[in-house]
A = this chain, B = another copy of it.
């Protein structure tokens, strides 16, 4: 999987994306080779919840010619150089006029910052502080921004794996940042390869929905469409972001704090990634802000590696290919698949012989041979399953009580259901 991930990473990296425009369309087209995305276009001006879909932005060229004739801050060199949604400009400026439009990070002099201005029409360039310091303060600068900001569309993609019920599990990721690795491409890549994993489930109970959207406005659009459906039918959801570096996993809880998505994520990580961190919900970060807004309050968490504000290269040109690991990215895909597997496995089961311990021998559930060195482990898992399947403890609850991974219960569960000792709770 690692080689494939890298291949797609390299193709997606150079594209200049924003919350709208052809860069998004091109990126979704590439991802469609892995996951069968339906592409949706939402017109500018559409009212969605408290928001209005903004104009579409496209850019062809942007650069500055210095007084001594050098071409700097060139979009073709690094697409972070342009402030996203910059309006068209073709004019000359003295240094003092130009200066308010130049953005740098004095604390990280080698990094180009990433800046946007979606809802206030202006323009600007980002460059390294080192380069900024070397620029002459006298003479005339020529600024070229060949962009368009016009009525158009917001574009997003969506794929479905149908389940045997309408209860849904969603995986949401965003595609609106230009060339950044952990805080962007790690998300859509994980989501796409996760689709391939989950497509192998046989008769999944849940319907899986994969959403690739521009951050914020995309989530607002989806909530405008599906919000009421999800309030009834969303079993669990995840925002996939910042999953590419090789730091330990961090799970950010949903606003509810103890929803199934939270409890199952903590359980699976406890056993499969014991050094993972668990963090409470905070109404900042990424699209969990939308899914967990108080009117919806959906059970949506986020499994990350090093989250947005914690990684030093956040929103800079240093969040690049060197910062991430394709091995870590592949492990993230597998961990997300285990979370889905655990949610599929979990349910409430009922012991049909709840008075005293059922006689295991006559049902061929007891270890067959007698032996002086009896192994208790399998039998104990079975006994926990039978004793606590009272309709009030989910399989997850039982696994937590036993402090063993929920996956260990799959085999005894199957046997007990075959002989009728356990039935699914109605």
Contact = CB atoms under 8 A, between A and B. Distances in A.
Nearest to A354: B295
Interface SS, A side: loop
A124 interface: yes
Nearest to A289: B357
A120 B361 CA distance: 8
A315 to B, nearest CB: 8
Interface in A284-321: 284, 289-290, 292-297, 309
Interface stretch (A99-107, A167-175, A181-189, A333-341): A99-107
A104 B371 CA distance: 9
Contact of A370 (B115, B351, B389, B390): B115
B295 A380 contact: no
Nearest to A257: B401
Given A359-B50, A359-B51, A384 B296 contact: no
A290 B354 CA distance: 10
B284 A216 contact: no
Contact of A355 (B280, B296, B386): B296
Contacts of A50: 353, 355-359
Given A282-B380, A283-B387, A103 B357 contact: no
A21 interface: no
A88 to B, nearest CB: 18
A396 interface: no
Contacts of A65: none
Contacts of A295: 354-356
A359 B113 contact: no
A371 B116 CA distance: 9
Most buried by B among A49, A126, A216, A384: A49
A50 B360 CA distance: 10
A374 to B, nearest CB: 9
Contacts of A216: 357
Contacts of A51: 356, 359
A11 interface: no
Q: How many copies does the complex hold?
A: 3
A315 B119 CA distance: 69
A386 B294 CA distance: 9
Nearest to A371: B103
Contacts of A219: 356
Interface residues of A, number: 63
A134 to B, nearest CB: 18
A126 B372 contact: yes
A105 B361 contact: no
A24 B292 CA distance: 60
A293 B421 CA distance: 14
A220 interface: yes
Contacts of A373: 105-107
Contacts of A379: 284
A238 interface: no
Contacts of A7: none
A284 B383 contact: yes
A178 interface: no
A293 B389 CA distance: 10
30 contacts: A49-B355, A50-B357, A50-B358, A51-B356, A83-B370, A103-B370, A103-B372, A106-B373, A115-B370, A115-B371, A115-B372, A116-B370, A227-B355, A255-B387, A280-B401, A282-B384, A283-B357, A283-B384, A284-B376, A284-B379, A284-B383, A289-B383, A290-B356, A290-B357, A293-B354, A293-B355, A293-B356, A293-B387, A294-B387, A296-B356
Interface of A: 49-51, 83, 103-107, 113, 115-117, 119-120, 122, 124, 126, 216, 219-220, 223-224, 227, 255, 280, 282-284, 289-290, 292-297, 309, 351, 353-359, 361-362, 370-373, 376, 379-380, 383-384, 386-390, 401
Given A289-B383, A294-B388, A295-B356, 8 more contacts: A51-B356, A116-B370, A124-B370, A280-B401, A284-B380, A295-B354, A296-B356, A297-B390
Q: When A and B form their complex, which 5 residue pairs have the shortest distance between CB atoms, in order from nearest?
A: A295-B354, A283-B387, A113-B372, A295-B355, A294-B390
